[in-house]
Amino acid sequence: MRKGLQNPAAQNQRRGAVPGPAQPMDMPEPSPAPPEPGAGAPRETVFRARGLRKTYGSGEVEVVALREVTLEIGRGEFVVLLGPSGSGKSTLLNILGGLDVPTEGEVWFAEHRLDGADEAALTRYRREHVGFVFQFYNLIPSLTVRENVALVTDIAEHPMDVDEAIGLVGLTPRRDHFPAQLSGGEQQRVAIARAIVKRPDVLLCDEPTGALDYVTGKLVLDVIARINADFGTTAVVITHNAAIAAMADRVIHLGDGRIQREERNPRRASAAEISW
């Protein structure tokens, strides 16, 4: 299968976008809306899940985190998972990312079957295909921005240049700084650079703006939308914030462990266009 982020220059050209390093994102203003993927255009399916159920504990203390979750996500899609606390969002994202396995049901990433996969196979899957971004950045405090991002490239098959990844998130002037010298939004952009430097097929983000103020939150969303639009990286973003849903191709509403409803946005809003 084609790997995501394999040929960014060609993809950028095709989409008419300017690649990151030539136009670094050290800018205060979010960019205009990303190119439309073409509403209703058929996409290759990357994730396919059927009848997912996830329980924790057993007997009287059993918690059902997911029930009867069936979904498909297309390559290059930008999906927002929305729902109240405890509705199963992180559980679903972790299963898609191979950090957890379902109790029942099937889940596939392209031709890789994830349910029932052993730890070694899941580790390989995560390493080769998935970039994670979490609410808290999990950077290594004793390493600079460059070193934090470079760590990942040792274990990646086809990493992009570390400085290119740092340029894509607009942190070139800060690349020799330590995490403690950066704002929350900058630290989150380092975490995004670390997630994308290995050219993942999918970018899975669990409340990436949860710890950020309004302005830096929008900058981080803009970076995620750009990665998705410019490289075709499938993005699944969890949020509590309904305004962010306008940036997605598709919004999946979770409640009580189930998919309550889905909606497709006729056009994607840019980070600059949304407010909350």
Kindly identify the residues of this chain, within the stretch 24-63, that bind ligand ATP according to CB under 6 A: 56-57, 63
Instruction: Check: CB of residue 79 under 8 Å from CB of residue 90.
Output: no
One symbol per residue from 82 to 101: x for binding Mg ion (CB under 5 A), - otherwise; what is it? --------x-----------
Could you say which of Mg ion, ligand ATP, none residue 141 binds, taking C-beta under 5 to 8 angstroms by partner kind? Answer: none
Rounded least distance, CB 206 to Mg ion, Å: 6
Could you say which of ligand ATP, Mg ion, none residue 87 binds, taking C-beta under 5 to 8 angstroms by partner kind? Answer: ligand ATP
Query: H-type helices in the chain, by residue range?
Result: 8-15, 89-96, 119-129, 145-153, 162-168, 184-196, 214-231
User: Residue 49: in which H helix or E strand, if any?
Assistant: strand 45-56
Residue closer to ligand ATP (CB basis): 148 or 188? 188
Q: How far apart are CA 159 and CA 123, in angstroms?
A: 17
Could you say which of ligand ATP, Mg ion, none residue 270 binds, taking C-beta under 5 to 8 angstroms by partner kind? Answer: none
Strands 258-264 and 250-255: antiparallel
Using the rule CB under 6 A, is 83 a contact of ligand ATP?
A: yes
Sheet harboring 130-133: ordered strands across?
A: 130-133, 202-206, 234-239, 78-82, 250-255, 258-264
Could you say which of Mg ion, ligand ATP, none residue 67 binds, taking C-beta under 5 to 8 angstroms by partner kind? Answer: none
Judged by DSSP in three states, 55 sits in: strand
Rounded least distance, CB 17 to ligand ATP, Å: 32
How many other CB atoms are there within 10 angstroms of residue 60's CB atom?
5
Using the rule CB under 6 A, is 88 a contact of ligand ATP?
A: yes
Using the rule CB under 6 A, is 102 a contact of ligand ATP?
A: no
Applying CB under 6 A, among 34, 87, 130, 133 the residue interacting with ligand ATP is: 87
Only one of the segments 36-44, 79-87, 138-146, 163-171 lies at the binding site for ligand ATP (rule: CB under 6 A); that segment is 79-87
DSSP string, 199-268: --SEEEEESTTTTS-HHHHHHHHHHHHHHHHHH--EEEEEES-GGGGGGSSEEEEEETTEEEEEEE-SSP
Using the rule CB under 6 A, is 210 a contact of ligand ATP?
A: no
Chain positions contacting ligand ATP, by CB under 6 A: 56-57, 63, 65, 83, 85-91
Chain positions contacting Mg ion, by CB under 5 A: 90
